[in-house]
Amino acid sequence: MPISDYRTALVTGASTGIGAVVVERLAKRGLEVHAVARNAERLQALADATGAVPHAVDITDTEALTRTLEGLEIDVLVNNAGVSRTGNILSADEFAVDEQIAVNIRAVLHLVRLLMPGMVERDLGHIVNISSIAGVYNFGGNTVYHATKAAVHTLSRQLRVDGYGRRVRVTEICPGRVETEIFGRLLGDMEAAQRQFYDGYESLKPEDIADSIEFAVDSPRHVNIGHIEILPTFQVPGGLNFERREG
């Protein structure tokens, strides 16, 4: 099912970074793209530039999200929205846990619940979930983020089982470090985040992720690209620590 087989798409976290680039890319390929994010001003600017349909809604508000999606037939769903908080489970507060669960996995489940049945009925659809290497590799910090992205990883595989026998494809995009605003929001200082996480590093760009999504969605109809792990060349996951104690 190349992109030409599809008519519509919906992208969450669309106002900036990966989401905005994906909206632009899919719109250029001729799809009617519904762009979902909380920032109405940014969404409108994106809509003016791309022709996308803006929906300023908080995806953690399930009632509002349900109203927004009512009557929409979406062929390509890109679950891109995500948040993170610093610290591991020893330092996490209630808000950090609840917010990341609400955005990173609960909203994803509801979006799929609301849109996948229509794909199954039409025998046509593609769900793209943006996870993270944090969901498949263990490294220090951001424990709740790791847990929620691991859930997205498992969900992506399970959806293929749920849609068995129908022409509904599911792709998980599993990136390493991408140069977006996520670290700036994490630190509350975009310039500090730029210096700490991006200056001197050859990080991925949002366009790299959009390339991988376009490749998966544009594959022939008999091909399902299930999992794409994409990292900067100089970023390597894994490693082993072993604390030594004497006496």
In single-letter form, the type of residue at position 74 comes to I
CB 14 within 8 A of CB 20: yes
Query: What count of residues does the chain have?
Result: 247
**Measured distance CA(41)–CA(93) in Å, rounded:** 31
Domain-embedded: residue 212: yes
Domain-embedded: residue 237: no
- Residue 187 has a pLDDT of 66
Domain that holds residue 61: 3-230
Domain-embedded: residue 207: yes
**Is pLDDT of 71 > 90?**
yes
pLDDT, tens only, 2-25? 788 999 999 999 999 999 999 999
What's the token pair of residue 15? 């106002």
Domain-embedded: residue 209: yes
Residue 6 designated active-site? no
> How many domains is the chain built from?
1
Three-state DSSP class for 36?
strand
pLDDT, tens only, 175-210? 999 987 777 677 677 787 778 777 888 899 999 999
Mean pLDDT of 158-174: 98
Comparison of pLDDT for 187 and 131, the residue scoring more = 131
Domain-embedded: residue 242: no
**Measured distance CA(149)–CA(131) in Å, rounded:** 5
The CATH number linked to 119 is: 3.40.50.720
Domain-embedded: residue 246: no
Q: What is the pTM of this model?
A: 0.94
The owner of tokens 């519509």 is 8
Q: Of the residues 6, 137, 145, 198, which is catalytic?
A: 145
Mean pLDDT of 83-101: 93
Domain-embedded: residue 73: yes
In single-letter form, the type of residue at position 48 comes to D
pLDDT, tens only, 57-68? 999 999 999 999
Closest by Cα among 244, 247, 98, 82 to 173: 82
Strands 8-12 and 168-175: unpaired
3-state secondary structure 183-235: HHHHHCCHHHHHHHHHCCCCCECHHHHHHHHHHHHCCCCCCCCCEEEECCCCC
Domain-embedded: residue 27: yes
**Measured distance CA(238)–CA(139) in Å, rounded:** 7
Strands 76-79 and 125-130: parallel
